[in-house]
Amino acid sequence: MNSRFERALNCEPPDRIPFVPAIYEHKAWFVGETPSKVCRDQKLFTAALLAEYERVQPDVLTVGIDVYNVEPEAAGCNVVYYEGDNTSVPAIAPESVVFQGSEDIASLKMPDPQKDGRMPLNLEVAGNIMKLLGKEVPIRGALSGPFSLAAHLTGLENLFKLMFTHPDLVRELLGFACEVIKRYGEAFIELGCGVVVFDSQASSDLISPLLYREFALPRTRALIEHFHQLGVRNVPLIIGGNTTKMLDEYLETGANNVLCDVKADGKEFLHKCSAVRRAFRRNMDSTDFLTISSSDVHRRTLNCLEESGGYAGFILGTAILPYGTPLSLVVAIRSALQEYKRP
């Protein structure tokens, strides 16, 4: 088992800084197919994860391509898939929300992870990868966070409106979302996988720390606590965007690994996370990876690593790698990681 990632999560100095690039739709590129095709085919999906591990050598593998779609789809929302050679990422059709605001939340469909949508497919892939690589590298199932799932079930703008007009209803919807995620997460855990929670719709790029505290935090904390009780100690919470303003709330969720995305303040994350011994993943910008040179990426990586300040809980990440990112850029990142000397 690769203990480098685990050591960083425990804030114990690893042999080198772990590398956790954000590879979702780009997984499909490894097998020469589109994200829409790979996310619906367990053989291709498994092959894509194997190829990712072989070529990129990340310190953790995540089972997930279109990570925010799986739970809402299983709950009845429609996903738009793209046919032919269209490499766009599948997305929830905005008109297919299952909760308009007046329905009884108890009547919403509670997905069965073994039966509904692509939950069984994702679980099958996780099981395959656990058998093949489970002893070499940590494997984790991708889960939506409660706020993001609620946003997909009712539409983001509607959720924002309901927060003012029907706050109790929003809390109830978040409770439903939390239950959906618990069940899906439990199914990954039964396979021996870890879990990782994605909740970027709750970013402080969109909502205030006050609203996060009022609505998202209680359910997120309960979700993470639930996984802790099931023996899963490491529960990363990934919220993109500039989350510097809500870092206190973010840390209150109980997640032992939070994301410091490209636009967030690395110094502030280092200061606050090291004070409470929490790991954080610092993302470097990858939006221009289809046009940038290997030497630029190498330089960018070293700059990013400098931000670690020698903190044992520092993890190197990237923003989502674009579909088709040349392997030479990943090699450049790995080379910089080897070269970097921790202060």
Partner 1 sequence: MKELQDLAQLLEQGQSQKVLALTQQLVDSGMSPQTILNDGLIAGMAVVGEKMRNGEMYLPEVLQSAGAMKASLAILKPHLAREGAKPRGKILIGTVKGDMHDIGKNLVCIMLQGAGFEIVDIGLNVEPQKFVTAITEHTPEIVGLSAMLTTTMLNMKTTIEAIVAAGIRSKVKIIVGGAPVSQKFADEIGADGYSRDAVLAVDKVKQLIGHTS
CB of 43 to partner 1, least distance (A): 23
Nearer to partner 1, 17 or 262 (CB): 262
Residues numbered 208 to 237 that lie near partner 1 (CB under 8 A) are 208, 211
CB environment 284-319: b (16+ within 10 A), e (fewer): bebeebeebeeeebbebbeebbebbeebbbbbbbbb
Site membership for partner 1, residue 275 (CB under 8 A): no
Size of the site for partner 1 (CB under 8 A): 32
CB of 221 to partner 1, least distance (A): 21
The count of residues in the chain is: 343
Nearer to partner 1, 82 or 340 (CB): 82
Q: In what order do the strands lie in the sheet with 257-260?
A: 19-22, 314-320, 279-284, 257-260, 236-238, 194-198, 139-144, 61-63
Residue 266 tokens, joined: 């690395």
CB 205 within 8 A of CB 239: no
Residue 260 tokens, joined: 């410091």
Q: Which amino acid type is present at position 283?
A: N
Among 57, 88, 293, 328, binds partner 1 (CB under 8 A): 88
Cα dihedral 38, 39, 43, 45 sign? positive
Provide the pairing of β-strand 236-238 with 257-260: parallel
Among 12, 190, 225, 288, binds partner 1 (CB under 8 A): 288
User: Quick one: how far is CA 65 from the chain centroid?
Assistant: 10
Nearer to partner 1, 25 or 52 (CB): 25
d(CA 215, CA 210) in angstroms, rounded, equals 9
Site membership for partner 1, residue 169 (CB under 8 A): no
Among 67, 97, 279, 320, binds partner 1 (CB under 8 A): 320
Site membership for partner 1, residue 303 (CB under 8 A): no
CB of 182 to partner 1, least distance (A): 26
Q: For partner 1, which stretch binds (CB under 8 A), given 142-150, 190-198, 248-256, 285-293? A: 285-293
DSSP, res 107: G
Site membership for partner 1, residue 207 (CB under 8 A): yes
Site membership for partner 1, residue 248 (CB under 8 A): no
CB of 7 to partner 1, least distance (A): 31
CB of 161 to partner 1, least distance (A): 6
CB of 156 to partner 1, least distance (A): 6
Q: Where are the beta strands (DSSP E) in the chain?
A: 19-22, 61-63, 79-80, 91-92, 139-144, 194-198, 236-238, 257-260, 279-284, 314-320
Residues numbered 105 to 164 that lie near partner 1 (CB under 8 A) are 156-157, 160-161, 163-164
Among 7, 10, 16, 91, binds partner 1 (CB under 8 A): 91
Q: For partner 1, which stretch binds (CB under 8 A), given 48-56, 80-88, 248-256, 271-279? A: 80-88
Site membership for partner 1, residue 326 (CB under 8 A): no
Residue 87 tokens, joined: 């490499």
Among 322, 326, 331, 337, binds partner 1 (CB under 8 A): 322
CB 185 within 8 A of CB 141: yes
Nearer to partner 1, 132 or 156 (CB): 156
Angle ∠(173,151,66) on CA atoms, nearest 5: 125
Site membership for partner 1, residue 260 (CB under 8 A): no
Q: For partner 1, which stretch binds (CB under 8 A), given 86-94, 111-119, 141-149, 182-190? A: 86-94
For residue 15, report the phi and psi dihedrals to the nearest 5 degrees: -65, -35
Residues at the interface with partner 1 (CB under 8 A): 25, 80, 82, 86-89, 91-94, 156-157, 160-161, 163-164, 204, 206-208, 211, 245, 286-291, 320, 322-323
